[in-house]
Chains A and B, each alone.
Chain A
Amino acid sequence: DVKVTQSSRYLVKRTGEKVFLECVQDMDHENMFWYRQDPGLGLRLIYFSYDVKMKEKGDIPEGYSVSREKKERFSLILESASTNQTSMYLCASRGRDSLNTEAFFGQGTRLTVV
């Protein structure tokens, strides 16, 4: 059974804190993604990575950074959390033939910044 695992289901952080969201996949996928999901807006791409140490900005990268030191792990970093980053964060992975392969999602991390 394929698995994308996010380190936390729920997080509460204070404004200004540095926040790390971790994602691990066991499918040997090249492509990994971080999205945020907000009511009425759907999923929006923050960053993606197509290989180890490679990263590309998505549609809303401001206030975020990422790290991919190992193929199976993709981390999202909020350098200085703000209340407008309160959201559901979803990690996903896809294989190399990405046009036809399914994106597998983690269970999500609901982050609240107070």
Chain B
Amino acid sequence: KNQVEQSPQSLIILEGKNCTLQCNYTVSPFSNLRWYKQDTGRGPVSLTIMTFSENTKSNGRYTATLDADTKQSSLHITASQLSDSASYICVVNYGGATNKLIFGTGTLLAVQP
């Protein structure tokens, strides 16, 4: 079954600290993986995309990694800010014939002062 699992479900960190969010997937065939940030009451916004051949990609203080062999991805946030408080959703694009995105349930991050 094509699934995307994220951990932890929720996380509280102090402002300025780093954190890492995890995503494991069983989607096959795999096309790409995106991390989205969803602020409370808003729609998700893409942070980064990882394709099969990419291991690491950075977008400012966000760094995503992908291990296609173990089917794992991580999102590392450096020097967290209060504005990083949001839900982070891992989304895998199914590489089969259907136009299908498979969503994880998200990690809810709270950054406290």
Contact = CB atoms under 8 A, between A and B. Distances in A.
Contact of A98 (B41, B89, B99, B104): B99
B88 interface: no
B1 interface: no
Contacts, number: 49
Nearest to A108: B43
A52 interface: no
Contact of B105 (A42, A100, A105, A106): A42
A99 B104 contact: no
Interface string A38-51: 00111111001010
A79 interface: no
Interface string A15-33: 0000000000000000100
Interface string A79-114: 000000000001010100011101101111010000
A108 B39 CA distance: 11
Interface of chain B, main secondary structure? strand
A4 interface: yes
A74 to B, nearest CB: 14
Given A41-B105, A42-B103, A43-B44, 14 more contacts: A42-B89, A42-B104, A42-B105, A90-B43, A94-B99, A98-B99, A99-B93, A99-B95, A100-B93, A102-B34, A102-B46, A103-B101, A107-B42, A108-B43
Interface of B: 31-32, 34, 41-46, 49, 51, 89, 91, 93, 95, 99-101, 103-106
28 contacts: A4-B43, A31-B99, A42-B104, A42-B105, A42-B106, A43-B44, A43-B103, A44-B103, A45-B100, A50-B99, A92-B43, A94-B99, A98-B99, A99-B31, A99-B32, A99-B93, A100-B31, A100-B49, A100-B51, A100-B93, A102-B46, A103-B91, A103-B101, A105-B45, A107-B41, A107-B43, A108-B41, A110-B41
